[in-house]
Structure formats: structure tokens, C-alpha cells
Structure 1
């Protein structure tokens, strides 16, 4: 996952992956390690050019592009993420059942009533 340390969408995807028990790697483009010579900015520009999307996070499973936070949540909720995890040999808790959007901060969640 290419992410930003301060991004609430990135936090939400990380929370969901942790809840599923997925061992993941987050490359935080705004971290100190990627600030020198604007390496993080260059990687982000390359991602946008390659994928056609400026959003962060950008999630990959086994090298296969999933999308940003909403695409990842939709893939889980729609049942497409689970076979992708299995196809790439990624362990996860197959008994977990939740609405992936529940991991978003409360101010972003849909309000009822």
C-alpha cells in the first residue's frame, strides 16, 4: 500500500487490514525516509502516471492493483477482495464480516436519520 502518514483514508484501510489479520506493508510517502530529494513526491507522481489516479492510498495485493480506499472497501463488501487475497496466498481471517466503510472516521461515515 502506498500511503501518507497523516491521511485518514489510509488509516481506515490500515484498520480494516489489521482487523482482517492481513500482514501488509505501508509505504508512507510523506515519511522522513521519503522526504529527501522529494522521493515521496516522485513516487506519487509515478503512481498517478501509471494508474491514472491521484488518490492516496493506492492498494496492491500481490502486485495486483486494487485501487484507493473506496475501491478497496467496495471490493471487500462486494466479495471480490477475499478471492484476490486467497489467489495471492495472503492469510486473513475468513470469518470476519463487517461493512468496510465502518472503518472510516465518524465524520466521513453516512449518517442515518
Structure 2
């Protein structure tokens, strides 16, 4: 009887170097978004951060800089191991994992993201009446 094969990325062993790279990148920058160039949820997070005046670094895991030697795929596997989530984007503030798009929007809406940034002395524009979920693609059902 044939057995179903596990997805290739699920069976992939995560190299310690990839885990260290994710940890180093997220610790070296105040706000880091691990994203995919083509992902609408990544676009939504970037739009919200930009509208709020929050400076961030974006690691495009499918971009040319990360395609060489399969680094982007390794980084994704490392992110999955570190965060426990396979979704992209994944956002870090001061080396601490905030979550994906939903968790980041929730943190913005409840003010905890702005509080974290203020503790770090990072500017954040005033958008008190804006629901972060309004940055999601229009095809996504309202939350």
C-alpha cells in the first residue's frame, strides 16, 4: 500500500546556521518583517507600517538576495522552527517575535505595538482611528 509523502519543506532539517541567521537579523534591527515579494498579507503589513510611520527592515525570502544557495527556503524553515508558524509574514520587534499579519494588526489596534516601539525610542505616527485590518486585501472577509 503506498504511503503519502510529507511535504518537502516539512521533512527538511533546519540547519543551525539558518536559525542563527534569523535570530541575528531580528536582533540587529529594531523592526524586521520576514516576507515574500508576492504575498498580499506581506503587502498589507508593509502598508500599515508605512502609513504609521514605523521604520522597518524587510527580508524578502523569495527575492534575488535570498535565492542564492536556497537561503530563503532555509530561512523559512528556520522561522517555522523558531515561531511555530509556517505563515508569512513574520514580524519581530527588538528581537522578539510579534507574530504574523493578524497578530501584528491586533498589536497595532490594541496599542501594544506602539508601546513596544516607544520603549525603544522609535517613532510611530498617530493613527488612532485606523483599524489595521483595513490594510488587508479587499477580498479578505472583515474581522
Q: 1:55 & 1:90 partners in 2: Cα distance?
A: 27
Q: Cα distance, 1:79 vs. partner? A: 1.7
CA displacement 1:48-76 (0-9 Å, x = unmatched):
11111111001011112110000000111
Q: Which residue in the other structure is 1:96 paired with?
A: 127
Alignment of 1:46-65 (within 5 A): 46-65=78-97
Alignment of 1:1-40 (within 5 A): 1-40=33-72
Q: 1:40 & 1:49 partners in 2: Cα distance?
A: 14
Across the aligned residues of Structure 1 and Structure 2, the Cα RMSD in angstroms comes to 1.2
Structure 2 gaps of 5+ residues are 1-32
1:26 is paired with a residue of what secondary structure? strand
Q: Are positions 1:82 and 2:114 aligned together?
A: yes
Please give the TM-score of this superposition, normalised by the length of structure 2.
0.74
The answer to whether the Cα contact below 8 Å between 1:101 and 1:109 also exists between their aligned partners in 2 is no
Q: Which residue in the other structure is 2:76 paired with?
A: 44
Structure 1 gaps of 5+ residues are none
Please give the TM-score of this superposition, normalised by the length of structure 1.
0.92
CA displacement 1:63-92 (0-9 Å, x = unmatched):
121100000001111121111111122211
